[in-house]
Amino acid sequence: MKILVPVKRVVDSNIKPLVKSDNSGVEVGGVKMSMNPFDETAVEEAVRLKEQKIASEVVVISIGEPKCQDTLRTAMAMGADRGILVTSDDALESLSVAKILQYFVTKEQPDVVLMGKQASDDDMNATGQILAAKLGWAQGTFVSKLELSDGKAQITREIDDGQEILELTLPAVITTDLRLNEPRFASLPNIMKAKKKQIETVALADLGVDTAVRLQVKSVAESSSVREGIIVGSVEELMDKLQNEAKVI
Amino acid sequence: MAVLVLLSYEKGDQIRKISRSAITAAGKLGTEVHALLVGDHLDGLSQKASQLQGIQKLLVAEHADYAHMQAEPVADLIVSLADSYEFIVAPANAEGKDILPRLAGLLDVQPISDVVEIIDASTFVRPIYAGSILATVTSKDAKKLLSVRGTTFEAVAETGGNATIEKIENLPASDKQLSVFKELKLSQSDRPELESARVVISGGRGMQSGENFVLLEKIADQLDAAIGASRAAVDAGFVPNDYQVGQTGKIVAPELYVAVALSGAIQHLAGMKDSKIVVAINKDPEAPIFKVSDYGIIGDLFEILPQLEAALKAR
């Protein structure tokens, strides 16, 4: 069974992103970049499936500036077999990414596309579902447990009031919840080994995929959550504030 | 042109509050708002839904294939209705986030997730980077697909409306093999739903164990509050994951949010920062949660929570 894992390079999720002075976007120059945490979960799961001999090959793909190569190397150091880098200078929205992935699914013929449920930068939570629709495949979103066998995927999904178990016919697109697993750290020997693994580089312009922007970002602004709060000295004082000042209890 | 709103409901026959917020958002996009109710055995729900304010027509699609609202058949169904609508709106909850982007893929549209403000018919505001930044976006798509945050749009009233009910007769065939429902595991709780509770009390990793959440429950009893948790508390196994508030969990905006032993990572703030009043209880004076709280108490939760419970009882 072949698994394709799309990975995205994003501003490290522990860093507070800064808005550019002209409000045109988020400052990414000189900022620490990392693999989207949801994609790390997807890579980890694919590698575990390979270790269990359920998957035969794990291919990772990333789309963006040449630096996305680092993200692919990280995935390969975790255990992915080879990488595909689609170079593009433009910021791409989920619809375009799904179309590019569709191109490579047709080419690579994986049994499963395993990917993060959302990217921690645009928080769109859409690419996997769009891809499944384009392919006419089943989708398993927000998956916290996955079992693959005999052309089927048994998935546990995180839903509003609990969990739901579904059985999907493969091939399918599966998007991962952070609960699915705890991603491993790549060891130094594995990082060295990953340098020898193959990355196929393709320019987006050569694919003939329509990536025209449909949803334009006009401006961005800080959303301040800071409150001019006070520290109270006792529960009595807190009760007084909540009852008489805030009037919420 | 008209707006179609996908309704989401609890299995206990209750239209979710977030759907009522989605109707309010839809009313800002067009004058004619139709709601779509999808599922199996919908007689009771249809009656309830037809009384929702703000909708002129209720479309009902009833079939066993829709019993569990799987994205594959539901998206196919909405495609068959899409010609009549310029806007399709879904709640930004687990169902809406599953179904709407699939529909977008079928219609070749870029969906707009988690809309918190509608500026005009093609300009919307949505949070990015765990809600620390707000992006204003313009859609060039002829048909616009939005999922809507429940916390920033007032919910329409449950009664007082009088929509005409139209049963959809020509349902598209669905591929039953793609996704087969097996089991539903609902978390049992008598408390108010997290996303619509007036008061939410949440615990973090500092609660130390699941048993200690009893201390939060006692306070929740006094305030008719829902109980939430940080991802750290969920990952530590203290409480089920549907308690999680934050970027990857539920988004809440209650009148009062009490954060106990919870540091306040940006991924958590993403889910609660629009609360009216935030109270933080933490023994670490440097905890970031104090920067986003209105009232803070520095101290040990095992001393403060019983005192707070006693004070609430004595009110």
Kindly identify which residue of chain A lies nearest to residue B76, measuring between CA atoms: A133
pLDDT per residue as tens digits for the range B114-135:
999 999 999 999 999 999 999 9
Would the pLDDT of B12 be above 70?
Answer: no
Contact B187, B240 (CB under 8 A): yes
Among A99, A74, A77, residue whose Cα is nearest residue A88: A99
**pLDDT of the residue at A156:** 98
Contact B225, B199 (CB under 8 A): yes
Partner-chain contact A158 B185, CB within 8 Å: no
Partner-chain contact A160 B177, CB within 8 Å: no
Run of H or E including B21: helix B17-27
**Phi, psi torsion values for A174, nearest 5 degrees:** -125, 130
Would the pLDDT of B190 be above 90?
Answer: no
Among B134, B136, B119, residue whose Cα is nearest residue B28: B119
CB atoms within 10 A of CB B14: 12
Contact list, A220 vs chain B (CB under 8 Å)? 128, 133-136
pLDDT per residue as tens digits for the range B216-249:
999 999 999 999 999 999 999 999 999 999 988 9
- Taking the C-alpha atoms of residue B85 and residue B79, their distance in angstroms, rounded to an integer, is 10
Partner-chain contact B102 A132, CB within 8 Å: yes
- Taking the C-alpha atoms of residue B225 and residue B259, their distance in angstroms, rounded to an integer, is 13
pLDDT per residue as tens digits for the range B201-220:
999 999 999 999 999 999 99
Q: Look over chain B and give the mean of its residue pLDDT values, rounded to a whole number.
A: 96
**Phi, psi torsion values for B5, nearest 5 degrees:** -115, 125
Q: Using 50, 70 and 90 to split pLDDT, how confident is the model at B11?
A: confident
Among A95, A121, A144, the residue with its CB nearest the CB of B110 is: A95
Partner-chain contact A19 B304, CB within 8 Å: no
Among A94, A235, A246, the residue with its CB nearest the CB of B110 is: A94
* Residue in this structure with the two tokens 């687990």, named with its chain if needed: B94
CA-based torsion, A91, A95, A96, A99: positive or negative = positive
pTM: 0.95
Mean pLDDT value across residues B29-35: 95
**Full pLDDT tens readout for chain A, 249 residues:** 999 999 999 999 989 899 999 999 999 989 999 999 999 999 999 999 999 999 999 999 999 999 999 999 999 999 999 999 999 998 899 999 999 999 999 999 999 999 999 999 999 999 999 999 999 999 999 999 999 988 999 999 999 989 999 999 999 999 999 999 999 999 999 999 999 999 999 999 999 999 999 999 999 999 877 898 999 999 999 999 999 999 998
